[in-house]
Amino acid sequence: MDAVELITVKELEPFNFRWPNGIEWFEGGWSFDARIAGTRFSGRHGIGTREVYGRERVHTVTWIGGEVQVEGVEADDYPSSQALISRLRRPGRALAHTWDQVPAGYEGLEIVEHRREIEAPYSPQCLAVKIGEGDCPSWVLHAWLRSQLPRMAAVSRLPGLKAPELPPAPSLDAKAVAQALLAHGANLAAQLKNGDVTFTRDPAANALIRDDPFAFLLAVISDMGIRAERAWALPYLLRKRLGHLSPAEVAANPEAVRAAVQQEPKLHRFVNIVPAWLVEAAQIVLSRYDGDAAKLWSDIPTAIELRRRLEAFPGIGQKKAAMAAEILARDLGIPLRDMSGGDVAYDVHVRRVFLRTGLAGRDDVNHMVAVARALNPDRPGALDLPAWDIGRRWCRPVNPDCPTCPLNRVCPRLIDKASSVRGV
């Protein structure tokens, strides 16, 4: 197969596309002219979000000559991989289920099991191609190969999936597991220090989160039911639509806030409850903190005190409060007097890792918090980020990648212990 030659690539402004059953909004993308195997063609690639496989996910569509060829859907590990998956089809357009059904031309792309990458209701048992969100040449190649299906034959020369052989699982040593988690957390922290902390892909939105405590608070409240990047961009987009992000103005104009969130493209999937929470948060900031959200932490509280203050806001429970306290101290440099009260968040990925490593004996928030406090009493919350990251990238709900996991040498691999863990 000849390489993809991109002749021109141009960014697209936001646009709509009419499907037979409705209109989809795309936040942007690119148009392209390309040449493959001597054939020149044009198309476009749109990037947006839509509800699919049980929650809001990044969704892409690639057209060639005005015809839809392929769609991409955010993989479960998107926060770390920035990758989407797209179902593979064989000649005749049926889904490819086995390696001998993979069409020619895909040898240079990453082939994965769809259900392993998206563990959700209706995720099909088939093969898919996994492509980075910004990998224009691969999306163009994938779309072109799909357009060529009527003239292509199946091949069997791609390597089959083979489960890697694992050494015997080590016996449970909770201290060794905790030390491995902390070491992974230190590696993550070192990576973050190499540049500014990014909450979204928009530098202006990131700057607002860092510089405006009220924006930070609204982002924490909004971080539910949508991808984190979208939630953390919400305060910046809300300010653009309102013309301000003043607690006093937000509290005084609830209908304007609701209209701003509901305006297309919607800022959040929960267009009624989230605006109400944002308004109530502004009212609390006015009544308890003199209109200054920075007073939540400006007196250098303990981590426990900060979490309790945060939990007084609508939409913030144990999980979000623990996460926010760690982000403030670890990433934004906010001084807290005592981090021994900084806890792990009762997050689905943290829960899965704690259960499979044997750190936790049962799926219970108080139990897991107590375990973290016992293992790392000076800063229990330091176990949160590495456990979350491992849960997202290696310790997946289905087919966990144990061989390459940072905990492989110490984890007893109690996979079935997390079989009942559900959530996002």
Return the pLDDT at 171: 75
Q: Where in the chain is the domain with CATH 1.10.1670.10?
A: 163-196+332-424
What CA–CA distance (Å, rounded) separates 86 from 128?
5
Return the pLDDT at 424: 46
pLDDT category of residue 346 using cuts at 50, 70 and 90: confident
Q: What is the token pair recorded at 202?
A: 């928009």
Mean pLDDT of the region 369-381: 90
If one looks up domain 163-196+332-424 in CATH, what number appears? Answer: 1.10.1670.10
What CA–CA distance (Å, rounded) separates 206 from 217?
13
Close Cβ partners of 394 (under 8 Å, ≥ 6 residues apart): 400, 401, 402, 404, 405, 406, 407
What CA–CA distance (Å, rounded) separates 405 from 108?
25
Close Cβ partners of 240 (under 8 Å, ≥ 6 residues apart): none
Q: Where in the chain is the domain with CATH 1.10.340?
A: 198-296
pLDDT tens digits, one per residue of 243-275: 999 999 999 999 999 999 999 888 997 888 899
- Side-chain-side CA neighbours of residue 374 (13 Å): 10
The b-or-e profile of 205-235 (16+ CB within 10 A means b, else e) is bbebbbebbbbbbbbbbbbbbbbbbbbbbbb
Instruction: Work out the percent of the chain whose per-residue pLDDT is above 90.
Output: 52
pLDDT tens digits, one per residue of 18-43: 999 889 989 889 999 999 988 999 99
If one looks up domain 198-296 in CATH, what number appears? Answer: 1.10.340
pLDDT tens digits, one per residue of 86-135: 999 988 778 998 877 888 888 778 888 898 888 888 899 899 999 988 88
pLDDT tens digits, one per residue of 284-329: 999 999 999 999 999 999 988 999 999 999 989 888 898 899 899 8
Distances (CA, A) of 332 to 153, 181, 409: 54, 22, 33
Whether cis (ω within 30° of 0) applies to the bond prior to 265 is: yes
Q: Bigger pLDDT: 414 or 149?
A: 414
pLDDT category of residue 152 using cuts at 50, 70 and 90: low
What CA–CA distance (Å, rounded) separates 104 from 194?
41
pTM for the predicted model, two decimal places: 0.57
